[in-house]
C-alpha cells in the first residue's frame, strides 16, 4: 500500500512493472545486495503467478469453445464393427486454430522402457506450462517390433494430449477395454513363461513371489502355477525300491543295472 494523500490509502498491486520500479529505486539508494536479491526473487514469483492465472483463464475459455471431436476412423474385428475413434492428427487438426486463438502450443515427448510413455506439455504464451502423461504396455499383435512400439506410442500420445487440454472424445471406455485385454493377454503369457522355467518347487515359489500383483490375481495363471507345482512335486519324489527295480528291468543294460544299484542303494533286484 502507498499513501496517495493525507488520510487516504491506495492499494498497489504487485506487478513486474511495480517491482521494477522498486528495484530501480533500490539501486539508486545503493541498498545491500541481499535486498536486491529478494526483490528479484519477488519479481520472478509475481511473474509466475500472473502466468499461471493467464494460463487458467485461457484454458477455461478454450474448453468452453472446444467443439465436439468428430471421430474419423473406425475399428473392426472380422466381419463385426467395433467402434469409431478420433486419431491424434485428427484431434489436433480440429482444435489447432482454437489453441492458437487462446495462446496455446504443445510438445509431446515419448520414452520407451518396457512400456511406452507419452508426456504432452501444454504451453501458454505468457510462459506457464502444464503436462499430462500416459503410459501403456507395448502392443501385442501381429506386427513388427517397430510397429508395436509406434502403435502404443500413438495411443499414449492421443490420451496425453486430450488429458492436458481437457478434451473428451467419447471413445475412452471402448479403447481402454481393448487396451486392458491386450495388457492382460501379455501378462498371462509372460507369467506362464516364467513359471514354466522353474526346475523345482522351491524355484517355483521364488518365481511366484516375484510376479506382479496383476499376474497373481489371474485365475488362469494361478491354475497353471498349481499344475506346475504338482508336476514338480511328482518329479521330485524319491522312488521306492520296487519303482527302481522296474526302471532296471525295463530300461537298463546289465552294466547299467549294477551302476544303478550301487548309486540308488536298491536292496534286491531280480538278476
Question: Residue 5 domain-assigned?
Answer: no
Look at residue 73 and tell me if it is in a domain.
no
Quote the DSSP letter at residue 212. -
My answer on whether 204 and 181 are in the same domain is: no
Averaged pLDDT score across all residues of the chain: 77
Question: Is the pLDDT confidence value at 12 over 70?
Answer: no
Same domain assignment for residues 86 and 182: yes
The reply to whether 126 falls in a domain is yes
Q: What local confidence, expressed as pLDDT, does residue 124 receive?
A: 97
Give the tens place of pLDDT for each residue, 35-53: 778 777 877 888 889 999 9
Within this chain, do residues 181 and 94 fall inside the same structural domain, yes or no? yes
Q: What residue ranges in the chain does DSSP mark as E strands?
A: 2-5, 8-10, 73-77, 80-85, 104-113, 115-124, 129-137
Structural domain of 24: 10-64
Span 190-204, average pLDDT: 87
Give the C-alpha separation, 151 to 107, whole Å.
Answer: 19
Contact 204, 225 (CB under 8 A): yes
Selected residue with higher pLDDT from 33 and 131: 131
Q: Is 122 a residue whose pLDDT tops 80?
A: yes
Asked if 33 and 22 sit in the same domain, the reply is yes
The answer to whether residues 83 and 173 touch, using CB atoms and an 8 Å cutoff, is no
Structurally, how many domains does the chain consist of?
3
Last residue of a domain, one of 166, 187, 208: 187
pLDDT value at position 107?
96
Amino acid at each position: 500500500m502507498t499513501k496517495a494523500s493525507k488520510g487516504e490509502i491506495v492499494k498497489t498491486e504487485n506487478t513486474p512493472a511495480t517491482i521494477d520500479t522498486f528495484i530501480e529505486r533500490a539501486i539508486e539508494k545503493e541498498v545491500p545486495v541481499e535486498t536486491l536479491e529478494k526483490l528479484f526473487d519477488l519479481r520472478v514469483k509475481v511473474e509466475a503467478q500472473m502466468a499461471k492465472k493467464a494460463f487458467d483463464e485461457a484454458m477455461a475459455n478454450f474448453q468452453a469453445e472446444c467443439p465436439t471431436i468428430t471421430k474419423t476412423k473406425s475399428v473392426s474385428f472380422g466381419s463385426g464393427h467395433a467402434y469409431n475413434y478420433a486419431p491424434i492428427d485428427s484431434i489436433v487438426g480440429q482444435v489447432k486454430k482454437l489453441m492458437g486463438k487462446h495462446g496455446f502450443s504443445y510438445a509431446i515427448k515419448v520414452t520407451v522402457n518396457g512400456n511406452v510413455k507419452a508426456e504432452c506439455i501444454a504451453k501458454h504464451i505468457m510462459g506457464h506450462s502444464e503436462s499430462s502423461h500416459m503410459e501403456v504396455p507395448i502392443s501385442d499383435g501381429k506386427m513388427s517390433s517397430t510397429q508395436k512400439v509406434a502403435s502404443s506410442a500413438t495411443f499414449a500420445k492421443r490420451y496425453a494430449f486430450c488429458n492436458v487440454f481437457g478434451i473428451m472424445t467419447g471413445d475412452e471406455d471402448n479403447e481402454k477395454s481393448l487396451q486392458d485385454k491386450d495388457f492382460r493377454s501379455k501378462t498371462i503369457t509372460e507369467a506362464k513363461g516364467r513359471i514354466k522355467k522353474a526346475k523345482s518347487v522351491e524355484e517355483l515359489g521364488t518365481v511366484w513371489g516375484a510376479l506382479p500383483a496383476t499376474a497373481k490375481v489371474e485365475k488362469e495363471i494361478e491354475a497353471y502355477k498349481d499344475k506346475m507345482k504338482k508336476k514338480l512335486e511328482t518329479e521330485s519324489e524319491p522312488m521306492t525300491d520296487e519303482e527302481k527295480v522296474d526302471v532296471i528291468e525295463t530300461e537298463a543294460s546289465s552294466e547299467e543295472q549294477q551302476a544303478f544299484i550301487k548309486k540308488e542303494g536298491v536292496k534286491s533286484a531280480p538278476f
